[in-house]
Amino acid sequence: MRVVFYAPMKPPDHPAPSGDRRMARLLIAALKRAGHRVEVASTFRSYDRSGDVRRQQRLAEIGQALAGRLLRRYRRRPAAERPEIWFTYHLYHKAPDWLGPVVARELRIAYTVAEASFAPKQADGPWSAGHAAAGAAISAADRIITLNSADTPCVAPLLTDSARLVPLKPFIDAAPFARAADGRDQHRATLAGAEGIESAVPWLLVVAMMRAGDKLASYQALGRGLARLTDRPWRLLVAGDGPVPVKVEAAFHAVAPRVHWFGEVGESALPGICAAADLFVWPTVNEAYGMVFLEAQAAAVPVVAGRFGGVPDVVADGITGDLVSPGDDAAFAEAIAVMLDDPDRRRAMGRCARDHVLSGHDIDAAVRALDAAIRNLEPAAAR
């Protein structure tokens, strides 16, 4: 089928590394593997970070104009070349979809949304226009594909037919990480030599952007947790970069000699770094589900994380890692301590983690699920 793809928050080719961009690219790859023809409809960002009402109004106007332009473009094509499905990834009140509902309605094609969230508390806030637009788009969708189970309770009431809501497990292309796990000893030896990291002690790993807000808060929580564990040997590997590296470094002042900074890591290098580690650690402040958890687990690395949002969808608590209550620094530190003190448990969880991702969160499974969700999907008006 001919699919037009749109990500209102961050287009697939956006230069900033992020889980959101990776998920958009993975969805496109999965759709293509399923045999669908995919084109990106637009790189227009409707995202408003600050709650600026005038900016949102201007974004809505631009979006409406772009929708009209897209309609004219598609209508000029021969019928056999026109889109059959509009596919929007990740819409919510800060990044509503001003394009898809209009184009899909006018072309009488199916409108599909993956990862939609709806926050009733935003109805009267500074993003009220985006909130209303997100609600209208969700209500109009012929298919809502949920990647985060935490979104379902607020999204489901907007749908007149529960069959329009289809769950999809978050997924990655697990193969590079699983292969890296097979070469763990070599990856570890290479990193130890190149970075001067003591190889005989456990390596903790975090991979995250260094930006203000929730990411910085997570780094700060991690720093506080690790400061409780100076009685045990460990090293922390930090892969990531962003606009607030100085504040991130300050979060680890109490354990600074134990921290190794890798900066931004390319996609080709990340599997080896993951496989070399013993434990992935991230407190998870306001995380949707966290693709990095899947990447670490695919490399046979267990996880200690905060039990927030959709994280339990990707980390099997007590099997592939340990989840703790968000914001509990003491519990987070204790969960890491338990892992540090029991290498056999770490290794057993790592093996389970790899199997967990390969069996249920790999792109091959997503290809089948996505294809089943959209193939031959008709718009409500045609049913």
What global pTM score does this model have?
0.91
| pLDDT in the model for residue 15 | 79
| pLDDT in the model for residue 383 | 41
Sheet containing 110-116: which strands, arranged edge to edge? 37-40, 2-6, 85-91, 110-116, 143-146, 165-167
C-alpha span between 316 and 121 (Å, rounded): 30
| pLDDT in the model for residue 309 | 85
Q: Are 23 and 291 in contact (CB under 8 A)?
A: yes
pLDDT along the chain (383 residues), means of 10: 96 82 95 97 96 96 98 96 97 97 97 96 93 96 94 95 94 97 97 95 96 94 97 97 96 97 93 98 84 96 94 96 94 98 97 97 96 89 50
C-alpha span between 150 and 205 (Å, rounded): 26
| Tokens at 276, concatenated | 């070399």
| Tokens at 228, concatenated | 């409780």
Contacts of 86 (CB under 8 A, 6+ apart): 3, 4, 6, 41, 100, 103, 104, 109, 110, 111, 112
| pLDDT in the model for residue 8 | 97
| Tokens at 377, concatenated | 């999907």
Sequence-ordered strand ranges (E) for 214-348: 235-239, 259-263, 279-282, 303-306, 321-324
| pLDDT in the model for residue 269 | 95
| pLDDT in the model for residue 382 | 52
| pLDDT in the model for residue 16 | 76
Going along the chain from its start, the domains and CATH numbers come out as: 2-171+363-382 (3.40.50.2000), 175-360 (3.40.50.2000)
| pLDDT in the model for residue 286 | 79
